[in-house]
Amino acid sequence: MDRTDSPTVVVLGSVNMDLVTTTARRPAPGETVLGSGFATVPGGKGANQAIAAARSGARVRFLGAIGDDAFGAQLMATLSGAGVEVTLLRKVDGASGIASIVIDSVGENSIIVVAGANGRVLELTAAELAAIADADILLCQLEIPIDTVLVAARHARASGTVVALNPSPVAPLPSELWAAVDLAIVNSLESEQYSAELAQVSHVVRTLGADGAAYHGADGTELTVAGLDIDVVDTTGAGDAFTGALAATWNQGPTTALNWANTAGALATTRLGASSSIPGSAQIAAALRPG
């Protein structure tokens, strides 16, 4: 995917260090089980989506915050190394965000997120607002304060920047935020929780896990793509890989973007970890070729 054919994407969101434990099965409440492996993997929904967009060829700027701990330095290096511009990434006193992830033998996961520095993104600077106004797409999630997401979305809408929202994790959202959203990317749970709100969004993309993905446009356009027949290792970050890839190709139209994102999300399940599993444009393009 040539970057000249892709939009400039500003991602406003979280960046975490994922603490990943693998085990035969996830423990029941009060139960202790033995794990089979452990790894620290850079993640966070915002960072994962930024890396996915960059690996799909977009020009990506990241807005968010890291702590002044060792994790923070690793997280910045990971974003930068993936081609994401981090000149506006804040460094604050204290701990970076973390996510504790348990993955079972069939690749399903349970996740606990501790916001850390992500919870301190309480306002937007003039430079951050300018970056949003200059972008083609603003991509947001809900792992930073919602009031900040609302300010960014309103500013993007007023500036002619497409507002893409992945409303995860599920939380009550103000109607003013939904009114600013052009494109919503949701999974089955989010689609159910926000069914009334999604009715007012011009473009809605639903991820369907192993069954692929679907698109609904306000003009009545309906599209579906089937899932890929692959061996799943870990579903962590697959939705983020999908969302970032979708943002990177959205300017090419829903059909192209949906197929590209669906393939990116599926390929991300074939490797362990979140950011470490996100495929590049060459791998996605190869998987899309007939035969």
Return the H-helix or E-strand segment holding 85.
none
Query: What pLDDT, on a 0 to 100 scale, did the predictor assign at position 3?
Result: 46
HSE-CB of 232 using CA atoms within 13 angstroms:
19
CB 257 within 8 A of CB 265: no
Tokens 């520095």: give the residue: 117
Q: Mind listing the pLDDT tens digit for each residue in 232-250?
A: 887 778 999 999 999 999 9
Query: What pLDDT, on a 0 to 100 scale, did the predictor assign at position 13?
Result: 98
Q: What is the amino acid identity at position 130?
A: A
Catalytic residue among 18, 182, 234, 240: 240
Nearest to 281 by CA among 131, 56, 79, 59: 56
User: What distance in Å separates the CA atoms of residue 26 and residue 228, rounded to the nearest whole number?
Assistant: 26
Q: How far is CA 233 from the centre of its chain?
A: 19
Q: Mind listing the pLDDT tens digit for each residue in 75-132?
A: 999 999 999 999 999 999 999 999 898 989 887 888 888 999 999 999 999 999 999 9
Averaged pLDDT, 157-172:
96
Q: What CA–CA distances, in Å, run from 209 to 66, 85, 113, 198, 235?
A: 31, 30, 22, 19, 9
Coil, helix or strand at residue 43 = strand
Q: Mind listing the pLDDT tens digit for each residue in 193-235?
A: 999 999 999 999 999 988 999 999 999 999 999 988 888 887 7
User: What distance in Å separates the CA atoms of residue 257 and residue 6, rounded to the nearest whole number?
Assistant: 11
240 classed as catalytic: yes
Q: Dihedrals φ, ψ of 211, to 5°?
A: -90, 0
Query: What pLDDT, on a 0 to 100 scale, did the predictor assign at position 108?
Result: 83
Tokens 């990116």: give the residue: 264
CB 94 within 8 A of CB 77: no
